[in-house]
Amino acid sequence: MIALKGLIVGGTMLVPGMSGGSMAMILGVYDRLVSSVSSFFKHKRASLIFLATFCVGAGIGMLLLAKPLLSLIERYPMPMMYFFLGAVAGGVPLVFREARVRRFTWRVPVYIVLGLAVVYLFTLLPSDVFQSEMEAGLVSALLLLVSGLIAAVGLVLPGISVSYLLLLMGLYDETMRAISQLYFPFLIPFGVGLLLGIILTTRILERAMTEHPHPTYLIILGFVLGSMAEVFPGVPDTAGEGLLCLVTLAAGFAVIWLLSWKERQG
């Protein structure tokens, strides 16, 4: 089941606008992923087995599902993006439940707006600041290190898509090309930054979720709602396409809601 959940997360996380963190949370493995990374040395064997199993599944998911999904988006862009929009919306009740909101106060919308603002700030990143050609060099390596640190946020935080961050930084095509060609002068500094960012972000996040679950999950809810704005493709041009989009929207919501409900039933 861990490998299967990894497969689903890996297959969807390369779709621009889709968050691997959101999918992991919906499937009930997010908290364990964060604790396995941040507290790795406390439970080395258990953490290693869990992370290895999940990562193998995610790798297989990237290989098997990412290309067909991207092909479907190219052929049927509007209905597919409405499906993903519904999928993101289907995870909202789960995140809200984790926030343990017992009564409505002014803090609830403030925390959610804070999460929305963070997602919006990421969209303001200039697309050419971190752009690096596939060439060796100290400046290029430092830029890739910093871009890896930023991309780690998209990997760890629900609602923020790592592929969307790469697009914003102008690195999506270069990263895909470096992976396909195994170009290590690009991959090594980027990977080091990614690893450092993941370790730093998960440690902060685990402490926040443990000690302050109410504001943390409400801010995460803002991230998730912000990602819906990224996925939203606009209004369909025809009534027929509009009806199809409503069907795919409902299907995406139903699939994720049922997955989270089944996980809750345990």
Residue 251 pLDDT level (bands cut at 50, 70, 90): very high
Task: Give me the pLDDT at residue 149, please.
Answer: 86
Tokens of 237: 């041009």
| pTM of structure | 0.71
Confidence of residue 64 (pLDDT cuts 50, 70, 90): confident
> So what's the pLDDT on residue 130?
57
Query: Would you place residue 153 in the very low, low, confident or very high pLDDT band (cuts 50, 70, 90)?
Result: confident
Angle between helical axes of 239-265 and 77-90 (0-180°, round to 10): 30
pLDDT band at 56 (very low <50, low <70, confident <90, very high): very high
Q: Answer whether 187's CB lies under 8 Å from 179's CB.
A: yes
3-state secondary structure 193-213: HHHHHHHHHHHHHHHHHHHCH
Tell me the average pLDDT across 66-74. Answer: 77
Higher-scoring residue by pLDDT: 159, 155: 155
List helix spans (H) across 2-128: 2-13, 20-26, 30-38, 44-61, 67-75, 77-90, 92-98, 107-123
Residue 199: Cβ within 10 Å count: 15
Average pLDDT, the chain: 80
Question: Which one of 44-53, 115-124, 156-165, 224-233 scores highest in mean pLDDT?
Answer: 44-53
